[in-house]
């Protein structure tokens, strides 16, 4: 199915690492991604809590005006593994 040129995305979902990793390039890329999402006036849905690259993407998008929705399955939230 081909995309129609007059339709634009309004939402984007991002799932990224819950750690920062060993390379600062990942941190920079996560922040750049969040900024790009906001610049394109997209809403962000992300699968994560309050840590790592997911946090960086969401914060960068939010502070620049994007609506941000964090989705955490109940089973994972109960474990406390995704939030500080």
Domain ranges of the chain: 11-79
Q: Does residue 73 come out as left (phi exceeding 0), alpha (psi in the -120 to 50 range) or beta?
A: beta
Give pLDDT, residue 68. 95
Q: pLDDT of 15-53, one tens digit each?
A: 887 777 778 999 999 999 999 999 999 999 988 777 788
Predicted structure pTM score: 0.77
45: helix, strand or coil:
strand
Architecture of domain 11-79 in this structure: 3-Layer(aba) Sandwich (3.40)
CA-based nearest residue to 38, from 12, 64, 10: 64
């Amino acid at each position: 199915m081909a995309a129609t040129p007059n339709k634009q995305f309004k939402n984007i979902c991002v799932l990224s690492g819950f750690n920062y990793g060993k390379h600062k390039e990942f941190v920079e890329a996560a922040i750049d991604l969040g900024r790009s999402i906001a610049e394109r006036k997209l809403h962000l849905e992300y699968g994560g809590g309050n840590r790592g690259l997911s946090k960086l993407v969401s914060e960068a998008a939010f502070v620049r005006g994007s609506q941000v929705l964090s989705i955490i399955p109940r089973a994972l939230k109960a474990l406390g593994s995704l939030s500080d």
